[in-house]
Structure 1
């Protein structure tokens, strides 16, 4: 058993927000990747898919998700399950949002019309 703390070295900042890596293969977790995501108010990420199922659990604010032509509003006390391979767009249009995210280790992102797999540094 061991405890993993967030660190600047394992934090990725983008125009949409911040992803702070927690458990993952590089931190000794063999099956799961977990991280904390903070979206800035009004942020909307790019359309993309992940090749692993993800579970998003907002702890504050509201997460807006567009996937397969459906839009959902997810808030603290709820969990969102996003199936693998589904094109999605995530955002925080109502204000800042913080969520914990979990998925099977080794996940990669894909953009529409592009077959390349993009590593997720916060999930490695």
Structure 2
């Protein structure tokens, strides 16, 4: 049974956010990826199109998820499903950090606003 201890998780930082990668193919998963996303206070996120479904579980704080043109505020305990093909942006207009657990299928990828394809390092 693969176990990923917190001390062994890979941490990546970009766009005023920290991605702590736990579950992915390189740690033993064949079907799903799981990471912790922490978004700094006052952050306006980078819009991007997700090419596979993405699920968010709000762990602490509050944040705004914009999917296509619909914005929803999430608080601890709330969950959201972002359908494949949607344009997603995660904002934290509050004064405290926002933390999520994020789950995607293996093979997850996205596109930046200019169409540039991206495969995040924390899903391989």
Do the structures match in fold with TM over 0.5? yes
| 1:41 match | 41
Task: Name structure 1 gaps, 5 residues minimum.
Answer: none
Question: CA distance change for structure 1 residues 88 and 15 in 2, over 3 Å: closer, same or farther?
Answer: closer
2:117 matched to 1:110? no
**Equivalent residue, structure 2, for 1:123:** 123
Q: In the alignment, is the contact (CA less than 8 A) between 2:16 and 2:39 conserved in 1?
A: yes
Any conservation in 1 of the 2:9–2:22 contact (CA below 8 Å)?
no
Q: Superposition pairs for residues 88-107 of structure 1, below 5 Å?
A: 88-94=88-94, 95-107=96-108
Q: Per-residue deviation at 1:87?
A: 0.7
Structure 2 gap segments, 5+ residues each: none
Alignment TM-score, normalising by the size of structure 1: 0.91
C-alpha contact 1:4 1:22 (8 A) present in aligned 2: yes
Q: Please, what TM-score do these two structures have when normalized by structure 2?
A: 0.91
Q: What corresponds to 1:83 in structure 2?
A: 83
SS in 2 for 1:64: strand
Over residues 70-98 of structure 1, what are the superposed CA-to-partner deviations in whole Å (9 max), with x where a residue is unaligned? 11001111101000110111111113101
Q: After the TM superposition, which segments of 4 or more aligned residues of structure 1 sit over 3 Å from their partners?
A: 6-9
CA contact (8 A) 2:15 2:46 kept: no
Q: Going by fraction, where is strand more abundant, 1 or 2?
A: 2
SS in 2 for 1:80: strand
CA RMSD in angstroms, aligned pairs only: 1.5
